[in-house]
Structure 1
Amino acid sequence: MNCPMCHRWAEQPDLRIAELEHCYLTLNRDQFFPGYCLLFTKHHVTELFHLSSQVRQGVMEEVNRVAAALFELYQPTKINYELLGNMVPHMHWHLVPRHSDDPLWPRPIWSEPHQEASLTEQEYRHAAAAIRRTIGLPETGGEKAI
């Protein structure tokens, strides 16, 4: 299968935050919105209704747990939650801390182009470790933490 999300964990280890029970959590490479993360299911599914009730509840708890940590760490005005799948048909959540003084506020993050903000390798590692710590996970390099 040629799904970019299915291979993301293996192919982008510098962005790894944590392997959770149902999902993988990574930083988005573009950190124009600091703390912007992707949470994607371990198994290739496209819709919430493709999951059993138990797994769906587990995924939603992981979304909630990550969002709460991002809120605590980045202290945004609002967390944006996006579950689209139109361009990448693999269930993945965009969890984006938004601040009322960001250049696109209050519009959606895709409302207009912006200059991509890349971090150094060390800055990505630092951000991932801070998120992991705030979630309450051990300071691993993104290995299974639950």
Structure 2
Amino acid sequence: MHTETPASCPLCQPQDETLIWHDEQFRVIAVDDPAYPGFTRVIWNAHAAEMTDLPPAARAHLMQAVWTVEQALRDTLQPHKINLASLGNMVPHLHWHLIPRWQDDLHFPDPVWAAPKHDPARHVIWHDSRLKAIRARLPECHAHIRSALALR
């Protein structure tokens, strides 16, 4: 059983986040994962562990944000797939992981938290041939996220 309180919760006490957008209820941050450019989190600001801890209107607001960010990632980065995950096993604070995936990434088709599916030597090719181009589109992606969320 987790015993985090807002005072000890790392998502309640953010540090060194790359903030893309926020409102009073949630924030969107870029996750610094060198192998997965575009990895983004949508974090509910109040300390709540489960979606059903939120009233229906707040749930809808949060999920609309998740879907908006997903669409922006798809529009700008054009991944093969987007993985959505809301685990909360390590930090019981509502947050959604949005992870663009490509068929030639290190773990595809497995989750990014699994053991690598492909030979890490192959990942050098992924780094050289794809990562730089995808990373170059991140400013456009983040601008698209900001614009789309501001319009909702």
What TM-score, normalized to structure 2?
A: 0.75
Once the two structures are superposed, the pairs formed by residues 7-86 of structure 1 within 5 Å of their partners are: 7-8=13-14, 11-13=15-17, 15-20=18-23, 22-86=25-89
3-state SS, counterpart of residue 109 of structure 1:
coil
User: Whose RCO is larger (CA < 8 A, sep 6+)?
Assistant: 1
Q: Distance in 1 between matches of 2:147 and 2:24?
A: 12
CA RMSD of aligned residues (A): 2.5
- CA deviation profile, 1:47-105 (whole Å, cap 9, x unmatched): 00000000101100000000000111110011000100000110111100001111210
Closer/same/farther in 2, CA of residues 61 and 28 from structure 1, 3 Å limit: same
Cα offset for 1:21?
Answer: 5.1
Q: Distance in 1 between matches of 2:25 and 2:12?
A: 13
Determine what percentage of the aligned residue pairs are the same residue: 33
Structure 2 residues not aligned, in runs of 5+: 1-6, 128-134
The corresponding residue for 1:6 is: 12
Letter in 2 for 1:12: D
- Contact kept, 8 Å, 2:85 with 2:96, in 1: the verdict is yes
Cα offset for 1:23?
Answer: 1.2
Closer/same/farther in 2, CA of residues 91 and 136 from structure 1, 3 Å limit: closer
2:94 to 88, 91, 96: 91
Structure 1 residues not aligned, in runs of 5+: 118-123, 139-143
Cα offset for 1:130?
Answer: 2.3
